[in-house]
């Protein structure tokens, strides 16, 4: 893996790897000549395919919209058609290239309007600053359900290389047809010789080489664009891919992350631990390219119909998701950074008990633990302090902790907007629902104008922020998409939970750092006042929910 990645990195520094002399020199000096040869053959081909697709899309926008008045009905209709055509071209490119490209397509396919998506979309059309729904729908429908599938012969090849035998000999039963396929791997159902039903995650054949080539291609594109357009500085994306992708390709890292996540909940968040679950790992049947886990039955987090059939209320599930990830971010400092709908399952708590209204408590099952980020003590504390300030509209604290996290004193307003997806006037609003986003056309239009107006500042902000915070932004986008699928928008409860857990984390840090009786008493008093404030908000939330339920009942919606 290391030599392969070094070969890809060396290749990315060459402006034209296809040139005979350059390619020959690269191959001759490589630690792995065979791999370098494959990369030299792969990268130029993919780069050409990228360039042709990008040029095709750019020309389509430029030609189709020329002469049409901004804001006119005709322009909007034509733009809709161009969006659809371009989304299909982008989808086809991702499928042809595979690997990282499919992962990027999946991120675009989330129903999230996150600022990180700006990077990918700005290649396509500079006048649109949020991913249009045509892209979201097209890529979501294809990327999450139609990823490439390795043949059974290729699966056997991986098994022989990793475990020394074929699947049918290693397991009592092995279904050759996968139940799911993602950008990096696919999952098969099997039974061990002692009768346990398991899910076997098998990496696509030659994925390591493909990933190295993709990495080299993306690095070449970003560095070339930065050379010609210095203000376009997204080299941080290369650093992030370089750090995260090799870990995602090592399934033993994923297995260790899974166990550490569960252990963190047991030790640091015992009140939530029973409601969060990760599949058991079968270490004797797992390698860096194969991962054998306990098979999990459950509904995907966006399958509202099945969730209700299981007796689980979507609102309770939304609160559990918010609490789970808030605990990770603000208390554990070890965060699952890929919580999209395919990686989150839900089932009723094993106890099976129902409340007085007949609903059952949900248990959240976390899958795909390949992408985690650790927040060091200072970053975690500052991030928790910032979210506390955002929820409670504390302007001075927002400014202070935004600066500590790298935004600087000049971009703290923008950073607050990126985190909450709300304009500054809403962030500092003292009303209880100031951060709630309902997804109305007016709200989306407001965000588009906000992003358009501050586009260059957004680019500068993303350049400044630590990579770990960029991953938190991406995680927030995924969680927003999950909550939107459950509730058709954000909710007061979500921000109440974030405010409560971030505040608890800040208080815990202050308590641990108290070095005198007076400072300890001050922190205790702060904690009491905070709890009183939170109780007040909780009462208001209960009244709000009762009124909402009564309103629905009067309208015959319940």
- Render pLDDT for 476-510 as a digit per residue (tens, 0 to 9): 888 988 988 898 766 788 888 999 999 999 999 99
Q: Is the pLDDT of residue 229 over 70?
A: no
Domain count, the chain: 3
Q: What is the pLDDT of residue 233?
A: 64
In a domain, 337, yes or no: no
For the ranges 221-230, 478-487, 549-558, the maximum mean pLDDT occurs at 478-487
Task: Check which CATH number belongs to the domain holding 196 and give it.
Answer: 3.30.200
Answer with the residue of higher pLDDT: 17 or 160. 160
Average pLDDT over residues 159-168: 95
Q: Can you point out the beta strands (E) in 22-61?
A: none
Q: Which residue, 237, 260, 295, sits at the end of a domain? A: 295
Both tokens of 343, joined, read: 């990686």
| Segment 68-94, tens digit of pLDDT | 887 788 988 998 898 888 888 877 877
Q: Is the pLDDT of residue 536 over 50?
A: yes
In this structure, the answer to whether residues 425 and 528 fall within a common structural domain is yes
End-to-end CA distance of the chain: 56
Nearest to 375, CA basis, from 411, 405, 345, 413: 405
Give me the active site residues, please.
338
Q: What is the pLDDT of residue 275?
A: 97
| Segment 424-438, tens digit of pLDDT | 888 888 877 778 766
Average pLDDT over residues 166-179: 95
Contacts of residue 173, Cβ cutoff 8 Å, sequence gap at least 6: 190, 191
In a domain, 300, yes or no: no
Q: What is the pLDDT of residue 240?
A: 72
In this structure, the answer to whether residues 241 and 255 fall within a common structural domain is no
In this structure, the answer to whether residues 224 and 164 fall within a common structural domain is no
Average pLDDT over residues 5-9: 45
Q: What is the pLDDT of residue 126?
A: 33
Q: What is the pLDDT of residue 92?
A: 80
In this structure, the answer to whether residues 413 and 538 fall within a common structural domain is yes
Q: Given pLDDT bands bounded at 50, 70 and 90, which one contains residue 120?
A: very low
In this structure, the answer to whether residues 135 and 165 fall within a common structural domain is no
Mean pLDDT, the chain, rounded, equals 80
In this structure, the answer to whether residues 274 and 420 fall within a common structural domain is no
3-state secondary structure 298-366: CEECCCHHHHHHCCCCHHHHHHHHHHHHHHHHHHHCEEECCCCHHHEEEEECCCCCECCCCCECEEEEE
Q: Is the pLDDT of residue 397 over 90?
A: yes
In this structure, the answer to whether residues 284 and 423 fall within a common structural domain is no
For the ranges 27-41, 124-138, 539-553, the maximum mean pLDDT occurs at 539-553
Q: What is the pLDDT of residue 51?
A: 75
Q: DSSP assignment of 107-140, as one string?
A: HHHSS---TTHHHHHTTT-TT--S--HHHHHHHH
Q: Which residue, 262, 295, 328, sits at the end of a domain? A: 295
Q: Given pLDDT bands bounded at 50, 70 and 90, which one contains residue 248?
A: confident
Q: Is the pLDDT of residue 189 over 50?
A: yes
Cα 308 to Cα 366: distance, rounded to the nearest angstrom:
19
Q: What is the pLDDT of residue 110?
A: 47
In a domain, 408, yes or no: yes
Q: Across the beta sheet with 344-348, what order do the strands follow?
A: 276-277, 362-366, 344-348, 299-300
Average pLDDT over residues 306-326: 95
Q: Range of 239's domain?
A: 2-147+209-245
Average pLDDT over residues 172-201: 93
pTM of the shown model: 0.78
Q: What is the pLDDT of residue 66?
A: 87
In this structure, the answer to whether residues 266 and 389 fall within a common structural domain is no
Q: Given pLDDT bands bounded at 50, 70 and 90, which one contains residue 528?
A: confident
Q: Is the pLDDT of residue 472 over 80?
A: yes
Residue 368 Ramachandran class (φ > 0 left, ψ -120 to 50 alpha, else beta)? left
In this structure, the answer to whether residues 156 and 270 fall within a common structural domain is yes
Q: Given pLDDT bands bounded at 50, 70 and 90, which one contains residue 121?
A: very low
In a domain, 440, yes or no: yes
Q: What is the pLDDT of residue 407?
A: 93
Contacts of residue 455, Cβ cutoff 8 Å, sequence gap at least 6: 118, 129
Q: What is the pLDDT of residue 502?
A: 95
Answer with the residue of higher pLDDT: 295 or 423. 295
In a domain, 547, yes or no: yes
Q: Is the pLDDT of residue 33 over 90?
A: no
In this structure, the answer to whether residues 115 and 262 fall within a common structural domain is no
Q: Is the pLDDT of residue 554 over 60?
A: no
CA 291, 295, 300: angle at the middle one, nearest 5?
105
In this structure, the answer to whether residues 541 and 397 fall within a common structural domain is yes
Q: What is the pLDDT of residue 441?
A: 67
Both tokens of 517, joined, read: 């009786």
- Percentage, residues of the chain above pLDDT 70: 73
In a domain, 324, yes or no: no
In this structure, the answer to whether residues 214 and 279 fall within a common structural domain is no
Q: What is the pLDDT of residue 160?
A: 95
Q: Which residue, 263, 295, 327, sits at the end of a domain? A: 295
In a domain, 320, yes or no: no
Q: Given pLDDT bands bounded at 50, 70 and 90, which one contains residue 32?
A: low
In a domain, 495, yes or no: yes
Sign of the Cα pseudo-torsion (44, 50, 55, 60, in order)? positive
Phi (first) and psi of residue 376, to 5 degrees: -65, 170
């Amino acid at each position: 893996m290391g030599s392969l990645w070094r070969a890809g990195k060396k290749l990315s520094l060459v402006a034209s790897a296809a040139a005979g002399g350059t390619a020959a020199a690269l191959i001759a000096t490589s630690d792995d000549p065979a791999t370098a040869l494959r990369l030299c053959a792969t990268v130029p081909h993919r780069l050409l395919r990228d360039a042709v697709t990008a040029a095709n899309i750019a020309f389509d926008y430029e030609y189709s919209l020329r002469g049409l008045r901004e804001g006119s009905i005709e322009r909007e209709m034509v733009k809709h058609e161009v969006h659809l055509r371009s989304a299909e071209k982008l989808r086809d490119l991702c499928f042809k290239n595979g690997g990282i490209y499919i992962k990027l397509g999946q991120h675009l396919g989330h129903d999230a309007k996150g600022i990180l998506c700006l990077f990918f979309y700005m290649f396509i059309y500079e006048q649109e600053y949020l991913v249009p729904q045509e892209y979201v729908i097209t890529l979501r429908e294809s990327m999450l359900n139609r990823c490439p599938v390795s043949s059974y012969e290729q699966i056997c090849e991986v098994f022989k290389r990793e475990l020394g035998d074929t699947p049918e000999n290693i397991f009592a039963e092995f279904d050759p047809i996968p139940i799911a396929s993602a950008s990096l791997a696919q999952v098969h159902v099997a039974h061990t010789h002692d009768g346990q039903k398991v899910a076997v995650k098998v990496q696509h054949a030659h994925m390591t080489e493909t990933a190295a080539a993709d990495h080299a291609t993306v690095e070449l594109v970003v560095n070339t664009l930065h050379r010609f357009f210095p203000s376009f500085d997204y080299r941080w994306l290369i650093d992030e891919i370089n750090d995260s992708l090799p870990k995602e390709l090592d399934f033993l890292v994923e297995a260790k992350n899974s166990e550490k996540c569960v252990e963190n909940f047991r030790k640091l968040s015992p009140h939530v631990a029973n409601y969060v679950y990760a599949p058991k790992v079968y270490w004797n049947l797992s390698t860096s390219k194969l991962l054998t886990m306990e098979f999990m039955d459950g509904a995907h987090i966006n399958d509202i119909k099945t969730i209700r059939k299981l007796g689980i209320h979507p609102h309770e599930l939304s609160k559990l998701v918010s609490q789970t990830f808030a605990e990770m971010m603000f208390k554990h400092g070890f965060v699952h950074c890929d919580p999209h709908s395919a990686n989150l399952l839900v089932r009723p708590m094993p106890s099976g008990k129902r409340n007085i209204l007949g609903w059952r408590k949900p248990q959240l099952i976390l899958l795909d633990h390949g992408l985690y980020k650790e927040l060091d003590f200072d970053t975690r504390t500052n991030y928790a302090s910032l979210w506390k300030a955002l929820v409670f509209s504390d302007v001075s604290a927002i400014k202070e902790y935004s600066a500590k996290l790298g935004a600087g004193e000049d971009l703290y307003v923008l950073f607050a907007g990126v985190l909450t997806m709300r304009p500054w006037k809403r962030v500092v609003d003292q009303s209880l629902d100031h951060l709630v986003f309902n997804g109305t056309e007016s709200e989306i239009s407001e965000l588009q104008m906000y992003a358009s107006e501050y586009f260059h500042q957004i680019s500068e902000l993303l350049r400044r922020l630590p990579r770990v915070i960029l991953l938190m932004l991406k995680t927030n986008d995924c969680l927003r998409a999950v909550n939107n699928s459950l509730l058709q928008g954000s909710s007061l409860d979500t921000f109440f939970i974030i405010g409560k857990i971030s505040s608890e984390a800040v208080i815990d840090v202050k308590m641990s750092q108290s070095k005198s009786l007076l400072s300890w008493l001050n922190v205790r008093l702060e904690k009491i006042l905070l709890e009183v404030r939170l109780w007040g908000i909780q009462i208001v939330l209960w009244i709000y929910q009762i009124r909402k339920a009564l309103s629905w009942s009067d309208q015959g919606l319940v």
